């Protein structure tokens, strides 16, 4: 039925900073979701290959500190290079299972020289095609010590059955204008990906749902002290100050009325399933539609630059 969509929220931990092993875990999770007829699977922010937790626990802002340089180099080596085919296996599984995927990655972007990394949200359709790569516009706080700021190229939406789906990374979801960009393109299923923790998801998921009168899926990862692989550079230094739980999950789903379909789930690894009914979007848009009858484009209007930014332009 085109007006119903079965979704799966993949609340899992990465094999931290291990690209190959984390890809294998993602592929296995997709196959498991397929066995339950999921049509859209969503993974957390920066899951592949993991969030830069060390910055908070190793004096991350210290200038020229060997610890930070060496961990950062390890991070880059395990970052995703889409142009080199790093996501081919995941795309193949998506195609074979006929499911769409939103996946949070750390992208080592060759079109920006190949030595800086971006927190990117990748959309793969049911044919296994990468249809958008949204680079986080503004890394948050200590993330700026590791991630570069992105651009507007990935601020797009995708048709999925009757739904129009779009997504943002973590605190981008607090940015009114990127949200408005997606609303203006007809978004009615909003994807918000997070590194983890209920304190990020418990309020804003319902707020965005009420503001947009859309479904909102928030997906977080998990991370515990014992999830750090033994071959992590400077592991003892990281663990010295790290808490037992670094990311407790908090994945959830809010309906177009802002009420919980699935409240935040904590400390449990696995897949969360739900079936969404498109008609609920139409019902809630009756009294409020932020880009339609409850907008005033003659008074306020947003201009968006969606070009992929680069430092060079070649004319051969």
Catalytic residue among 25, 39, 119, 136: 136
Q: Is the dihedral of CA 89, 144, 230, 69 positive or negative?
A: positive
Specify whether 45 is catalytic: yes
**Helix, strand, or coil here: 5?**
strand
CA distances from 97 to 33, 47, 87, 219, 284 (A): 9, 21, 15, 21, 32
Please say if 136 is a catalytic residue.
yes
- What letters, b where the CB count within 10 A reaches 16 and e where it falls short, cover 257-279? ebeebbbbbbeeebbbebebbbe
Beta strands 215-220 and 189-194, pairing class: parallel
Using an 8 Å Cβ cutoff, are 39 and 5 in contact? yes
Q: Counting Cβ atoms within 10 Å, is residue 306 exposed (0-12), middle (13-18) or buried (19+)?
A: exposed
Annotated catalytic residue, options 91, 97, 119, 170: 170
Instruction: Give how far Cα 243 sits from Cα of 194, 206, 238, 279, Å.
Output: 19, 28, 10, 44
The single residue of 25, 39, 45, 284 carrying the catalytic annotation is 45
Q: Is 69 one of the annotated active-site residues of the chain? A: no
Active-site positions? 45, 136, 170
């Amino acid at each position: 039925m085109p007006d119903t969509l079965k979704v799966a929220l993949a609340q899992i931990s990465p094999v931290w900073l291990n690209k190959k092993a984390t890809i294998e875990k993602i592929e296995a999770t997709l196959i498991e979701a397929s066995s339950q007829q999921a049509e859209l699977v969503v993974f957390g922010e920066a899951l592949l290959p993991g969030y830069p937790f060390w910055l908070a626990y190793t004096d991350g802002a210290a200038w020229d500190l060997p610890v930070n340089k060496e961990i950062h180099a390890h991070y880059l080596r395990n970052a995703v290079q889409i142009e080199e085919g790093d996501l081919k296996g995941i795309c193949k599984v998506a195609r074979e299972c006929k499911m769409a995927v939103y996946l949070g990655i750390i992208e080592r972007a060759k079109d920006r020289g190949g030595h800086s990394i971006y927190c990117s949200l990748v959309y793969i359709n049911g044919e296994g095609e990468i249809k958008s790569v949204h680079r986080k516009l503004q890394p948050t706080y200590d993330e700026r010590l590791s991630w570069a700021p992105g651009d507007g190229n990935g601020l797009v939406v995708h048709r999925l059955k009757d739904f129009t789906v779009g997504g943002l990374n973590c605190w981008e979801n607090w940015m009114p204008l990127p949200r408005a960009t997606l609303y203006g393109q007809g978004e009615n299923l909003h994807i918000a990906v997070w590194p983890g923790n209920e304190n990020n998801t418990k309020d804003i998921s319902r707020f965005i749902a009420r503001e947009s009168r859309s479904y909102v899926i928030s997906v977080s990862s998990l991370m515990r002290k014992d999830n750090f692989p033994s071959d992590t550079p400077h592991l003892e230094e990281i663990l010295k100050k790290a808490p037992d739980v670094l990311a407790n999950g908090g994945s959830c789903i809010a309906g177009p009325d802002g009420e919980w379909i699935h409240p935040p789930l904590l400390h449990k690894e696995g897949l969360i399933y739900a079936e969404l009914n498109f008609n609920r979007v139409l019902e809630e848009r009756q009294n409020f539609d932020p880009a339609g009858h409850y907008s005033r484009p003659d008074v306020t209007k947003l201009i968006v630059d969606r070009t992929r930014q680069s430092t060079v332009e070649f004319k051969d």
